[in-house]
Amino acid sequence: MTGNDKKVMIIGGGLAGVEAAYQLSKRGINVELYEMRPVKTTDVHSSSFLGEMVCSNSLGATQLSTGAGLLKEELKMLDSFFLRIAEANRVPAGSSFSVDRLHLAENITEEIEKLPNVRVIREEITDIPTVDYPVIIATGPLTSGRFAENLSILTLRKHLFFYDATSPIINAESIDYEKIFRASRYDKGEADFINIPMSEEQYNEFVQDLLNSEKVELHEADKDVFFDACLPIEEIARRGEMSLAFGPLKPVGLVDPGTGKMPFAVVQLRQDDLKKNFFQMVGFQTRLKWGEQKRIFRKLPGLENAEFERFGRIHRNTYINAPLILNKFYQCKLNENIYFAGQICGVEGYVESVCSGLIAGIFTALRILGEPSYNLPENTACGSLVNYICQADWKDFRPTKFTFGLLPESNEPKSKRIKKKLKKEHKAGIALESLEKWIKKINI
């Protein structure tokens, strides 16, 4: 690499960090990408690869009428590195975009290491760098402890913590296939999911088991701080005896070929790797103790001898109070050399993390190249997401996924009663048109 005039330091080689590195590299900017693994690891990463998806292998739905679908379409238009490699690592999963996580991460690492102007340095950063060129902080929800402590210097007030949970993964060979059936909801896809049908009696017993189970304790200050989008299964059960049947165990769109009827409830398992060796329990994030997971989940039909490749877990999630700290370019208001990207900046989810890394990378490049930074249009998924994180109410700030609710209302007359799906497709069309214009305008 040559001098410092066109150079950026990125801290964290996760989903956001690798995307930002690629966006800078392709615009001729040198990158030093610091990743602490394998020198120091996190509680949930299982490899030393860059860009590892730590839990579910799903990047969400693909239809343009869904938040995940629109966001991914925009990222494709913006030449997302992560999505391109993900496409080559897809596994069958109905209408959702799922991947072989570790193979994907291995490919990402190879591709990043091949880039001539990106240097990957395996080292933990513990202090806020005082360099005179831009730094993108993308250390993720599991930012190492010492660095997180030092971040409070930048974050004006104590940075925030809360807890999230992950789902168990089961070894495919240990499932009893006589008791389950394969199907995708509403027959979308090619019978990609394993479905465990439950009778009302089995369901009620399962709920009681969850309620009476032993859980990993949280610190007092951390209680009641789960995201609604990622609630542990036992927490959902606690909120009402039918909550699971209307939530992750909902049977709609599924018919048990054994009975010809819709079961009372269904536990779904989704393929986790290309070789079909592992299946993940869908929506089963949990903080049950591991022995309890084994005891209770093995009561489910077909899982009597299940071998758990990974148990569900509880984990820390670190993020900054973005509305106080960031502007619309993912840049610190008080230190223009510091940018944040990924989950730590207040977005939530794989695709959103990639998105923020991509956009932070582009804005950093624009600044270095002396080009004007035009705001992202508010009516795009990427633009509405950054708007949310820098304009939300800081007193009650929580990381967010992209949903259509973040987009401004379109000019459709209120009286015109169009179906929700059509309305979303209409907004998606506007978003893609606006983004195309923005891409032409920034012209790099």
Ligand X SMILES: Cc1cc2nc3c(=O)[nH]c(=O)nc-3n(C[C@H](O)[C@H](O)[C@H](O)COP(=O)(O)OP(=O)(O)OC[C@H]3O[C@@H](n4cnc5c(N)ncnc54)[C@H](O)[C@@H]3O)c2cc1C
User: Would you tell me how many other CB atoms lie within 10 Å of the CB of residue 228?
Assistant: 8
User: Which residue's beta carbon is nearest to the bound ligand X?
Assistant: 14
Provide, rounded to whole angstroms, the least separation between the CB of residue 181 and ligand X: 25
Residue among 86 and 207 whose Cβ is closer to ligand X: 86
Residue among 7 and 37 whose Cβ is closer to ligand X: 37
Provide, rounded to whole angstroms, the least separation between the CB of residue 141 and ligand X: 4
The footprint of ligand X (CB under 6 A) covers 11-17, 34-37, 42, 44-45, 54-56, 124-125, 138-144, 147, 164, 166, 315, 317, 342-344, 349-350, 353
Tokens describing residue 97: 């975009």
Residue among 198 and 359 whose Cβ is closer to ligand X: 359
Helix residue ranges per DSSP H, 173-229: 200-211
Provide, rounded to whole angstroms, the least separation between the CB of residue 204 and ligand X: 28
User: Would you tell me how many other CB atoms lie within 10 Å of the CB of residue 415?
Assistant: 5
Question: Edge-to-edge strand order for the sheet containing 278-281?
Answer: 181-183, 193-198, 265-271, 278-281, 169-171, 308-310
Residue among 82 and 438 whose Cβ is closer to ligand X: 82
Beta strands 265-271 and 193-198: pairing type?
A: antiparallel
Provide, rounded to whole angstroms, the least separation between the CB of residue 59 and ligand X: 7
- Gap between the Cα atoms of 133 and 338, Å rounded: 9
Judged by DSSP in three states, 275 sits in: coil
Residue among 142 and 236 whose Cβ is closer to ligand X: 142
Provide, rounded to whole angstroms, the least separation between the CB of residue 11 and ligand X: 5
Provide, rounded to whole angstroms, the least separation between the CB of residue 226 and ligand X: 12
Provide, rounded to whole angstroms, the least separation between the CB of residue 297 and ligand X: 18
Provide, rounded to whole angstroms, the least separation between the CB of residue 25 and ligand X: 17
Residue among 140 and 248 whose Cβ is closer to ligand X: 140
Residue among 124 and 378 whose Cβ is closer to ligand X: 124
Residue among 138 and 198 whose Cβ is closer to ligand X: 138
Cβ burial of 230 (10 Å; 0-12, 13-18, 19+) is buried
- Gap between the Cα atoms of 214 and 237, Å rounded: 14
Contact 401, 348 (CB under 8 A): yes
CA dihedral 180, 185, 189, 194 (to 10 degrees): -20
Token pair 């992560």 in the structure block, residue:
82
Question: Edge-to-edge strand order for the sheet containing 58-61?
Answer: 58-61, 96-99, 90-91
Beta strands 169-171 and 308-310: pairing type?
A: antiparallel
